[in-house]
Structure 1
């Protein structure tokens, strides 16, 4: 079984769970195979894309949702990064990391690796991934 959890970046730091301020970046990892990346700007604009697999592919429900427009989301993420953090990133580099709308397998074995590549590309600090020692007893 892989990692399940939500990490949010806002006000210059990472925390577990929901964001504490806007703008924010929220990363929700499902079984180390899917990372849902939500980003919101101060004016409430934002978007969503996936790393690893799109859920409709992973759960074998191709009609459950429309494929992500990876070009539009890569440009949206680049705009968010510029406005929220004052950093520039090439949308083409972001798009290369995104889950394939056609279902092609991801390059990385676990999606956390792809998350770290995205954050490094964006110049954002890496989160402290929870470890087994962080889990509740039992």
Structure 2
């Protein structure tokens, strides 16, 4: 079984709890195969995209939702990075990390690696992934 967990980035650091300020970034990882990335800017703009696989592909329910418009989301995320972090990011570089709307397999074995590559691209610190010993018993 892979990693399951939600982390947020705001006020210059990652937390296991929700964000403390706007702008913020939330990364929700499901079984190390899907990362839902939500970003919000100070003007209430923002978006959502996936790393690894889109849930509709991973769960073999292609009609469960529309494919992500990766071009629009990559451009939106690049704007968020510029405004929130001060880093210039090429939207095409972001897009190459996103889950393929047609279901092509991701480059990385586990989505946490892709999250780390996205963070490096954006100039964000890498999240502190909880270790197995950090998990509750049971």
Find the counterpart in structure 2 of residue 65 from structure 1: 65
Find the counterpart in structure 2 of residue 14 from structure 1: 14
For residues 61 and 19 of structure 1, what CA distance do their matches in structure 2 show?
31
Q: Which runs of 5+ in 1 are unaligned?
A: none
Describe the SS at the equivalent of 1:19. Answer: coil
For residues 66 and 6 of structure 2, what CA distance do their matches in structure 1 show?
23
Aligned runs of 1:9-88 on 2, under 5 Å?
A: 9-88=9-88
TM-score, normalized by length of structure 1?
0.98
Find the counterpart in structure 2 of residue 111 from structure 1: 111
**Considering only aligned residues, what root-mean-square deviation do their CA atoms show, in Å?**
0.7
For residues 137 and 107 of structure 2, what CA distance do their matches in structure 1 show?
34
After TM superposition, what 4+ stretches of structure 1 lie above 2 angstroms from structure 2?
Answer: none
For residues 17 and 35 of structure 2, what CA distance do their matches in structure 1 show?
14
How much has 1:17 moved relative to structure 2? 3.0
Describe the SS at the equivalent of 2:47. Answer: strand
Find the counterpart in structure 2 of residue 123 from structure 1: 123
Q: Which runs of 5+ in 2 are unaligned?
A: none
Describe the SS at the equivalent of 2:26. Answer: strand
For residues 107 and 87 of structure 1, what CA distance do their matches in structure 2 show?
24
The 10-residue stretch of structure 1 (1-10 or 80-89) with the greater mean CA deviation from structure 2? 80-89
How much has 1:123 moved relative to structure 2? 0.8
